[in-house]
Amino acid sequence: MAPAPAIFSSVFSNALLSPIWASRHCRNALLPPVALASVLTSASDHKNHHRSRKEHCWVVRRKASIAHSSIAKEVTATVSSSPAHGYPEYDRLLPCPFQNQSPRVEHHVVLEGGLVLDWISKALDLPPLFVADLIRFGAVHYALVCPKPPPTATPEQIQIYKEVTEPSVLQKRSSIKGKTVREAQKTFRVTDANQFVEAGTYLRVHVHPKRFPRCYEIDWKSRIIAVTSTYVVLDKPAATSVGGTIDNIEECCAMFASRALGFDTPLRTTHQIDNCTEGCVVLARTKDFCSEFHAMIREKTVKKLYLALAAAPVPVGIITHYMRPVNIAPRLVSEDIIGGWHLCQLEVLECKEVMWPAAKVMETHNVEDCGWPFKKVAYECKINLLTGKTHQIRAQFAAIGAPIVGDSMYIPSVMAKMANPSINPFDRKWKEYASEDEKMAAIEQWIAQHGKEPNAAIGLQASHISWDDGTCSYEAGAPWWRSTDQ
């Protein structure tokens, strides 16, 4: 008979999802941003990484905290997992590969207490050093009590959930005394490979964290705009994350900028811009400044200007839309007021015609073609962002038929509307629907017209940021599309 962890793995692996994770990853069969684990790389592959040996060693030599792990003492860095499960053999998370693999997210409940590194290594048949890397990357999360399974769970999964959350079982667990079940179901990152996990603890392991190879190609010191005693201003490169993702807090601007500046304490994120957007980002050196900057954003005293390269002309003036209050991409907007939808406003200060970026410039910055049919000229717009919603400029420009150059998510929807003007159910030309089901079907069809999130740069830059009535004012460098490469 198979050991308990193996039995449970076959039941719960990639299954036990709750509303905590009800994002586009679940809805779209765990599409990116969850992605990628490193596979054993051949010597020829290493030559194609275009990164120095020094850069690899600089990160790899950071010691994982596994000194007390009984398994970790018995293995070396070259241990591989068994091919019996059908997954690739795993070694270490570094060096960073250039392409993401299919997602792999494992959901488990600990049946016998022990060190988290040991338990995951045994349950998932993974080398302990690889698991230690996952923990360092922030790719392992836990909850004291297993969250409720989704409606798609099997009877066997539901039965296991009921057994581990039975009131008589929970009453015996001292770790959750004084907490409600809902409080105990809240997830946290595992930060120590030696953390003890007791029986009944829920674990979520992102075996393929989303990777950011661009981080290893950047001269980070050259991207620093300003350094003060309380904050740093960074000219963020495209194809990087400001503060990390749910499964990767290691490969991000905050971490790499901290290392470039020699800081012992990592910088804190104060605000976000999309991974595919470049430009000004403020990172806090202190907790107090982080709170102060958040307060200034809430009070709307932080001014943000953007440069956007649109594929069609954009009218000068204030553009208003309302965004669907669903935290899933693509972001849907409507010109009409819809109850509960968020106000989105931006002001186009100027819009000038420029040449479409040369093919070599697009290639250098990995900008996607996206099939846009009109590539003679583009339109550089200066934008004052009045509200700050995720994807706001991208969604609003697409809604008026002027998508951002290289935006593989929104350009396909604009082209679909060009072919079928009535396809957008939130357009002012929308029709009345006979039933709610018919309307929902139309919305799903509209969502399907959108593409994937860009993997590299798009024509969008956070060009300016200021606060304290302009006392603190910073500018990014020239945007990629002004490159002189021909």
Q: What is the CATH number of the domain that holds 284?
A: 3.30.2350.10
Q: Please report whether residue 99 resides in a domain.
A: no
222 lies in the same domain as 284: yes
Q: Based on the domain organization, do 320 and 457 belong to the same domain?
A: yes
- Residue 69's pLDDT band (boundaries 50, 70, 90)? very low
In this predicted structure, the answer to whether residue 61 has a pLDDT above a threshold of 60 is no
Q: Kindly state whether residues 391 and 461 are assigned to the same domain.
A: yes
Whole-number percent of the chain with pLDDT over 70: 81
User: Where a domain ends, among 187, 208, 229?
Assistant: 208
Cα–Cα distance measured from residue 383 to residue 483, given in angstroms and rounded to the nearest whole number: 21
- Please say which residue of 151, 185, 208 terminates a domain: 208
Residue 25 lies in a domain: no
What does each C-alpha distance from 311 to 152, 376, 403, 407 come to in angstroms?
42, 10, 6, 10
Is the omega angle on the peptide bond into residue 127 within 30 degrees of 0, that is, cis? no
For 37-72, letters b (16+ CB in 10 Å) and e give bbeeeeeeeeeebeeeeebbeebeeeebbbeebebb
* 124 and 108 fall within a common domain: yes
- Would you say residue 34 lies in a domain? no
- Total domains in the chain come to 3
Give the mean model confidence (pLDDT) for residues 126-154.
94
Same domain, 222 and 198: no
* 249 shares its domain with 176: no
Question: Between the CA of residue 190 and those of 70, 96, 203, 206, 435, what are the distances in Å?
Answer: 18, 22, 9, 12, 47
User: Is 46 inside a domain boundary?
Assistant: no
> Which position has the higher pLDDT, 8 or 243?
243
Contact indicator for 283, 263 with CB cutoff of 8 Å: no
- Whether 118 is catalytic: no
- Does any domain span residue 61? no
Predicted local confidence at residue 432, as pLDDT: 77
Radius of gyration of the chain measured on its C-alpha atoms? 24
Q: Which residues contact 255 (CB under 8 A, 6 or more apart)?
A: 244, 249, 266, 267
Which tens digits make up the pLDDT trace of 288-339?
A: 999 999 999 999 999 999 999 999 999 999 999 999 999 999 999 999 999 9
Name the residue range of residue 181's domain: 104-208
Please state the separation of Cα 414 from the chain's center in Å. Answer: 24
pLDDT of residue 53: 28
Out of 208, 239, 270, a domain closes at: 208
Name the catalytic one among 91, 133, 235, 274: 274
Could you read off the pLDDT of 359-416 as tens digits, one per residue?
999 999 999 999 999 999 999 999 999 999 999 999 999 999 999 999 999 999 999 9
190 and 222 in a common domain: no
**Is residue 75 pLDDT above 60, yes or no?**
no
Instruction: Tell me the per-residue pLDDT of 145-157, one tens digit each, with 9 for 90 and over.
Output: 999 988 888 898 8
Could you tell me if residue 293 is inside a domain? yes
Residue that wins the pLDDT comparison between 134 and 44: 134
Identify whether residues 279 and 394 lie together within a single domain: no
Q: HSE (CB half, 13 Å, CA atoms) of 360? A: 4
Query: What tens digit of pLDDT does each residue of 419-447 get?
Result: 999 999 998 766 678 888 999 999 999 99
Asked whether residue 233 is domain-assigned, the answer is yes
Which residues, including other chains, have CB under 8 Å from residue 216's CB and lie 6 or more apart?
49, 51, 55, 95, 96
Count of CB atoms within 10 A of residue 197's CB? Answer: 22
pLDDT at 479 over 60: yes
CA–centroid distance for 226 within its chain:
26
For the cut 70, the answer to whether the pLDDT of residue 56 exceeds it is no
Q: Where are the alpha helices (DSSP H) in 108-267?
A: 116-124, 128-136, 155-164, 167-170, 181-184, 253-260
pTM of the model: 0.80
Which pLDDT score, from 0 to 100, does residue 89 have? 77
